Amino acid sequence: MKHYILPLLLLLSTLLYSQVPRLQVPIGHTDVVSAVAFSPDGQTVLTGSWDGTAKLWDLAGRELQAFAANGWCSAVAFSPDGKTILTGSFNGTAQLWDLSGRKLQTFSDPVIVNAIYAVAFSPDGQRILTGSEDGTAKLWDISGQQLRTFNADGSAVLGLAFSPDGQQLLTGTLGGKALLWELSGEVVRSFADPASTAAINALAFSPDGQLVVTSDGGGKARLWDIGPAATDLCSTLFRSFPRVFTQRKTTVNGHFERRNYALEPVWPAFKDLLRVFRY
């Protein structure tokens, strides 16, 4: 029996040794993933992380390319043609990259460093927007020249969007206000719930450019009708007041949490009930 002990021990030690990886390759991000975007063709996904990188993935979860964003990467976007990407970072720079990881352009204020929280491409891909902690959004051409500054409400700009025709833009701020702008810098409309100061952290236009949706830190998404431009924003606010998505119940199914929501109009007491959508 003792003749078999040594070979057995050698076999066990070999098996155990073989379980220790000789090469460890890090996969994915090593910190919070703070931004995501689909490519226009829907075949790849872009992620941005506080680990200072953006990464390009295929739909099977394979990492295709990494981009060194130089500081916490807080925002990412694909160009409309899907050939370039944009990253925004807490170090105050936005960077344009091709899909091979080559940096094409850097967008930054040469005087003041303000963290960038949001980025967006224009529909034609020739201009970009950056939103910063100083309460401004900046319009740039693709060569890196700053074209215009939009001063929001003085609080950090957390959300940005171009209209589908590229002639207007939206800003959403930490102070809870969304503004519709002409590219000239003129404010066209203001979207704000007077009963809420929750930060507007994301917003978007409908494909036809007639509706705007905003989401806030209070857990609500609001749908707004842009309508014709108004000179008296306060008096027209409730004519285009939002329907609000509020959580009704939560069910748990395995590891996935499913939330059911109701879509309710919000209106002042002197306005007629519009419609309630429940699903």
φ, ψ dihedrals at 14, nearest 5°: -65, -45
Nearest to 134 by CA among 150, 155, 153, 117: 155
* pLDDT at site 71: 83
133-190 pLDDT, tens digit per residue, is: 999 999 999 999 999 999 988 899 999 999 999 999 999 999 998 999 999 999 999 8
Give how far Cα 91 sits from Cα of 35, 133, 139, Å: 16, 11, 18
Question: Residue 149 pairs with which residues in a beta bridge?
Answer: 138
Residue 251 scores a pLDDT above 50? no
When pLDDT is cut at 50, 70 and 90, the band that residue 264 belongs to is very low
Long-range contacts of the stretch 126-130 (C-beta < 8 A, 24+): 127/166, 128/86, 128/94, 128/96, 129/160, 129/162, 129/169, 130/88, 130/94, 130/160
Q: Using one digit for the tens of pLDDT, what is the confidence trace for 178-205? A: 999 999 999 999 888 787 889 998 999 9
CA distance 119 to 87: 7
The whole-number pLDDT of residue 266 equals 41
Task: Answer whether residue 103 shows pLDDT above 50.
Answer: yes
Q: Do the beta carbons of residue 223 and residue 211 sit within 8 Å? A: yes
